[in-house]
Amino acid sequence: MKGMHLAELNVGRLVAAQDDPRVAEFMDNLDRINGLGKRMPGFVWMMEGSGAPGTGNTDTAIDGDPRYVPNLSVWEDVASLETFVWGTIHKQFYERRQEWFEVLGSMHFVMWWVPEGHQPSLQEALARLDHLRDNGDSDHAFGWSYLKQATMWRSHGCTPVAAE
């Protein structure tokens, strides 16, 4: 979309506290996976946490709950985000998400178009997620199936097992 970038919010809730051995492998690889994303062609921006090694954005609690882990990023286009999600080592972590994240009872992933240069706030992203939950896919907030140009997600599956 000319003059627009693709924003995405993905929210997960860890099965245990961040220092618990049950989520250690996930926590130990946050910097690696986030660093890979930042080096990908088409990456634009990512909401950052404190910057402390091994914490990713896990210090951004939602509703005061430190086990909620939001990932908010902006990409040049759909293909760039899809390549990162399903065309890199990120896919291996995605496929194992049920080991580290609770099954959430409602939608936890949303995308929307933002003007180039815009860095959405977590509050803006959560409002988009609420809109998607309440109204379904629309130009305001949508999932993968709404994007005609999205192809990789169809073959790699978005099973609603747990957070992505």
| Inter-CA distances, 160 with 91, 95, 108, 157, Å | 15, 11, 10, 9
Tens of pLDDT, residue by residue over 64-111, are 888 988 999 999 999 999 999 999 999 998 899 999 999 887 779 999
For residue 112, list its beta bridge partners.
Answer: 7
Q: Which of 52, 87, 85 is CA-nearest to residue 164?
A: 85
Residues contacting 22, CB < 8 A, separation 6+: 15, 16, 100
Domains of the chain with bracketed CATH:
4-156 (3.30.70.100)
| pTM of the predicted structure, to 2 decimals | 0.88
pLDDT beyond 60 at 50: no
